[in-house]
Amino acid sequence: MSLGMILRRGVIAAGAFLLAAPALAQRAPEPIRIGAVLSVTGPASFLGDPEDKTLRLYVNRINQAGGVNGRPLQLIIYDDAGDANRARTFATRLVEDDRVVAMVGGTTTGTTLAMRPVFEDARIPFISLAGGIEIIDPVQPFTFKTPHTDRMACEKIFADIRARGLTRVGMISGTDGFGQSMRGQCVRVAGAAGITIVAEESYGPRDSDMTPQLTRLRNAQGIEAVVNPGFGQGPAIVTRGYHQLGIRLPLYQSHGVASREFINLATPAAAEGVRLPAAALLIAEQLPTSDPQHQVVLDYKAAFEREFNQPVSTFGGHAYDGLMILVEAMRRANSTDGTRLRDAIRATRGFVGTGGIVNMSATDHMGLDLSAFRMVEIRNGDWALLGN
């Protein structure tokens, strides 16, 4: 090919592009960019992986249905591997380089707190998927969260223990962020709930045997029930050890194990009789049709399990809630301006999500109350809803 030919072809191509560009711009509107920094790998991948899958799945579905306000969504996801410093860098990248209009993500409380100033400074709404109450208490102008707080989980568990006529509790907590944050909240609300914590043990996020700690708990004076704040595989190994040692005291897990995977990992025999507070998503099929969440949780469960061939977890549900709250707010505000979007998110009322009915306000950037939690018990390898 001669140089002249290449040049001519180049000019023709460029001309065609220039002619086509305005038409293209009209036909394909500018996408709305949404960011997510998730712990897809690393110690919190048990939470981050389903979040990542959920966001990708639902952004696709929304786009197939015509997008939001006539514009498609563009999702930009980065994996922080659970590292706060890395999360902070990716948050800056989303704001400064990718120019996202909002952020749904932040898998752990640690990464969320590290990223929060970036979004607050840029005045961009940030819907976190982490549990720690310090994310929204005190309220920050642009930061929201969808999961129930660990304080609520403690209150729910303690209320159930009291209802059984028990008061003296032992705790075995993971030393990861989730476990320690919830442990702190449980210690804090124990007094008000009429609970005495008589013994405490802990285990590392990667520990493979908790029988020494459980042996100590079993021998603790006057202990009546055991609570295990933690997520991932740790609680499954605790539950196995509990069964192995033949401890008969009631065992309470947290909302951090709320996936059928927990029953599989712990084995149904060991998990029998374990109770935990969980969102409605876990017991989707057992909800009465009159329950307002009935349809939402069934739809999400069906969509997720069909697409990924793995059991749903409430963590993916939190990502669903976050994305949908954002999308509804964008529709209501008919804008992607940070402050307007924030105001619209804050005005969310009666949103039915997988985690509960969300009513946000200027003083409540989570919008869930204790009724969002259901107490469930594991029976015959399945969840059973306890009469509330």
Partner 1 sequence: MNARWATLLILAAVIAVIPWFFPSGYYFRVAALVWVTALGAVGLQVLMGQAGQVSLGHAGFVGIGAYAMALGPKYLGLPVLACLPLGAVLAGLIAFLVGRPILRLKGHYLAVATLGFGILVALVLVSEIAITGGPDGIRIPRPEIFGWRPRGGEAWYWINGAALLIGVWLALNIQHSPSGRALAALHDSEVAARTIGIDVARHKLRAFVIAAVYGAVAGGLMAMMNGFVTPDAAGFLQSVEYVTMVVIGGLASVPGAVVGAAALVLLPQALTVFHEYEHAVLGLLIMLFMIFLRVGIVPGLATLLRRRPA
Partner 2 sequence: MPELLQFLVSGLTIGAVYALVALGFTLIHNASDVVNFAQGEFVMLGGMVTVFATAAGIPLPLAALLAIAVAVLVGLALHRLAIEPARGASAVTLIIITIGASIFLRGVAQIVFDKRFHQLPGFSGNDPIMVLGAAILPQSFWVLGGALIVFCGLFLFLERTLMGKAVLATAANRLAARLVGVDTSFVLALSFGLSAAIGALAGILITPITLTSFDVGTLLALKGFAAAMLGGMGSPLGAVVGGLVLGLLEALGAGYVSSAYKDAVAFLVILAVLFSMPQGLFGHRSVERV
Which amino acid, residue 271? A
197 binding partner 1? (CB under 8 A): no
DSSP letter at 348?
Answer: -
* CA dihedral sign of residues 258, 261, 267, 272: positive
Unique residue bearing structure tokens 């310090």: 134
* Torsion angle defined by CA atoms of residues 232, 385, 297 and 129, in that order, rounded to the nearest 10 degrees: -40
Give contact residues for partner 2 (rule: CB under 8 A).
40-42, 45-46, 49, 175, 201-204, 206, 208-209, 211-213, 215-216, 219, 232-233, 236-237, 240, 243-246, 261, 264-265, 267, 269-270, 310
Options 21-29, 113-121, 312-320, 348-356: segment touching partner 1 (CB under 8 A): 113-121
Beta bridge partners of 128: 145
Taking the C-alpha atoms of residue 78 and residue 106, their distance in angstroms, rounded to an integer, is 10
Among 46, 58, 78, 351, binds partner 1 (CB under 8 A): 78
Among 72, 184, 311, 338, binds partner 1 (CB under 8 A): 184
Taking the complex as a whole, the smallest distance from the CB of residue 206 to partner 1 amounts, in Å, to: 11
Which amino acid, residue 275? R
Give whichever of 207 and 382 is closer to partner 2, judged by the CB atom.
Answer: 207
374 binding partner 1? (CB under 8 A): no
Q: Which does 127 bind (CB under 5 to 8 A by kind): partner 1, partner 2, none?
A: none
310 binding partner 1? (CB under 8 A): no
108 binding partner 1? (CB under 8 A): yes
Residues 16-45 that bind partner 1 (CB under 8 A): 40-41
Taking the C-alpha atoms of residue 313 and residue 182, their distance in angstroms, rounded to an integer, is 19
Tokens of residue 212, six digits: 């020494």
Among 48, 86, 195, 293, binds partner 1 (CB under 8 A): 86
Taking the complex as a whole, the smallest distance from the CB of residue 46 to partner 1 amounts, in Å, to: 15
Give whichever of 41 and 335 is closer to partner 2, judged by the CB atom.
Answer: 41
Kindly state the helix (H) or strand (E) to which residue 75 belongs, with its residue range: strand 73-79
Among 35, 177, 230, 235, binds partner 1 (CB under 8 A): 177
- Closest to 197 in 3D by CA, of 227, 175, 230: 227
- Closest to 63 in 3D by CA, of 22, 28, 35: 28
Options 23-31, 170-178, 219-227, 244-252: segment touching partner 1 (CB under 8 A): 170-178
Taking the C-alpha atoms of residue 312 and residue 262, their distance in angstroms, rounded to an integer, is 11
* Whether 171 contacts 253, CB under 8 Å: no
176 binding partner 1? (CB under 8 A): yes
259 binding partner 1? (CB under 8 A): no
* Whether 245 contacts 352, CB under 8 Å: no
Give whichever of 196 and 264 is closer to partner 2, judged by the CB atom.
Answer: 264
235 binding partner 1? (CB under 8 A): no
- The shares of helix, strand and coil residues in the chain, as percent rounded to the nearest 5, are 50, 20, 35
Taking the complex as a whole, the smallest distance from the CB of residue 53 to partner 1 amounts, in Å, to: 11
* Whether 73 contacts 326, CB under 8 Å: no
Q: How far is CA 372 from CA 177, 191, 252, 294, 362, in A?
A: 23, 23, 18, 13, 20
* Torsion angle defined by CA atoms of residues 99, 104, 107 and 113, in that order, rounded to the nearest 10 degrees: 60
Which amino acid, residue 351? F
Taking the complex as a whole, the smallest distance from the CB of residue 366 to partner 1 amounts, in Å, to: 17
Give whichever of 134 and 328 is closer to partner 1, judged by the CB atom.
Answer: 134
Give whichever of 233 and 254 is closer to partner 2, judged by the CB atom.
Answer: 233
Taking the complex as a whole, the smallest distance from the CB of residue 374 to partner 1 amounts, in Å, to: 27
Among 38, 39, 54, 79, binds partner 1 (CB under 8 A): 79
230 binding partner 1? (CB under 8 A): no
- What is the contact surface with partner 1 in residues (CB under 8 A)? 40-41, 78-79, 82-86, 88-89, 92-93, 95-97, 108-110, 113-114, 117, 121, 132, 134, 175-177, 180-181, 184, 202
